[in-house]
Structure 1
Amino acid sequence: MKNWKLKEIVVMSVLSVVFAVVYLAFLPVGKVLVGFFGPIGYDFIFGIWFIVSIIAAYIIRKPGAAFLSETIAATVEVLLGNAVGPMLIISGMIQGLGAEAGFALTRYRRYDLWTLMFAGMMAGVFSFAWGYFQSGFAALAGGYVLLMFISRVLSGALIAGVGGKALSDALAKTGVLSSFALGKEKRKKHAA
């Protein structure tokens, strides 16, 4: 966290706490979807659990933002009572590493929609690889597992990538991010 400003750490932490609550709120939604569609139900909305990593990285634009925000959110979610317990922190770290990998591949220089979608997809790939071994997906039919994987990766692109950009851009329009990289970028675009 070298070269991080206090305000960046505070905003990342606040976002992480807010999304920890959002993550808990979406668990029942996932359970309903699983009731209708089986294990793939969670994969349809899994991108919601990657979104803070995309938002934090898009706003702050520094190495580590995606990983740290997702790790903090998972830790807070455990503290708030997620039944998975401490293993969830490892899942959050893996999701954050996936998103971080997406940004690292651009050397932290690109934060356009495609990069955000790619980072969301990478979070999906990393989390699915972890879930494959952790949750016993190998016992399911190969075609079904492939559909689960595709659903999770698309969810990462659309919910985390597109949704994260939309939420961040809306927040930037209010002016509260004017001293952050995203806010400065938006000001330059409006001035041009």
Structure 2
Amino acid sequence: MSRWKLREVILMVVLAIVCGGIYRVWDVLYALIPATAYALQGVMTGLWMIAGVMVPYIVRRPGAALIAELVAAAVELLLGEQWGLANMISGLIQGIGSEIAFLIFGYRVWNTGTCTLSGVLASAAFMFQWYFQYGGDKLHLGTQIAFVLISLVSGAVLGGLLPKALADALARTGALRNYEIAKRSVKSA
């Protein structure tokens, strides 16, 4: 695999910044959910994974998922989200989870399956933080299981399928013609 190109780094940062802004809006909506509405909270978790799927799917470089999630988390933090520095831990954990899916396939398979797996693994990684830091360990076992399952589905749909669909739509406009997604997406979709 060749080295990163400057345009790839710039696009990664721009997309991560946009995702960080989206995450901040999502934070506001999330804050409106009652603290005991765990199922609804689980439904919302997947959207916080989009940078870690969309960016590597477009630029197709090792490390893109991790870096994109960290940049998005930093932007979200700077915009005043409610979790403080724990947000950077979330970005790190989710970025690692997302990155693992692409690593499993040697950064050679870029399709619906790998994007979905990436969203699921990012969500699964976050479940550890949710359990130990955000109080998941204090909930009834049935609530824990329901939250985890709903969050994994949300990771698959909002964190995996949605960013792939957005990237594919963006590629169809021709705006990404100089990136790997435009060169290979027809073969790997």
User: What is the TM-score of this pair, normalised by structure 1?
Assistant: 0.92
Give, in angstroms, the shift of residue 178 of structure 1. 0.4
> What corresponds to 1:113 in structure 2?
112
Q: Is 2:48 the counterpart of 1:49? A: yes
> What corresponds to 1:96 in structure 2?
95
Q: Is 2:10 the counterpart of 1:18? A: no
> What corresponds to 1:181 in structure 2?
180
Give, in angstroms, the shift of residue 188 of structure 1. 6.6
Whether the 8 Å CA contact 1:46–1:156 is kept in 2: the answer is yes
RMSD (Å) for aligned C-alpha atoms: 1.6
CA distance in 1, matches of 2:43, 2:186: 35
Whether the 8 Å CA contact 2:12–2:55 is kept in 1: the answer is yes
Give, in angstroms, the shift of residue 30 of structure 1. 1.8
Question: Aligned partner of 1:18: which letter?
Answer: V
CA distance in 2, matches of 1:27, 1:124: 16
Whether the 8 Å CA contact 2:53–2:119 is kept in 1: the answer is yes
Question: Aligned partner of 1:8: which letter?
Answer: E
- Are residues 83 and 28 of structure 1, via their aligned partners in 2, closer, same or farther at CA, if it must alter by over 3 Å? closer
Q: How many pairs align?
A: 187
Question: Aligned partner of 1:114: which letter?
Answer: G
Question: Aligned partner of 1:128: which letter?
Answer: M
1:80-159 correspondence to structure 2 within 5 Å? 80-159=79-158
Q: Which runs of 5+ in 1 are unaligned?
A: none
User: What is the TM-score of this pair, normalised by structure 2?
Assistant: 0.94
* Identity value in percent: 34
Whether the 8 Å CA contact 2:27–2:81 is kept in 1: the answer is no
- Are residues 177 and 140 of structure 1, via their aligned partners in 2, closer, same or farther at CA, if it must alter by over 3 Å? same
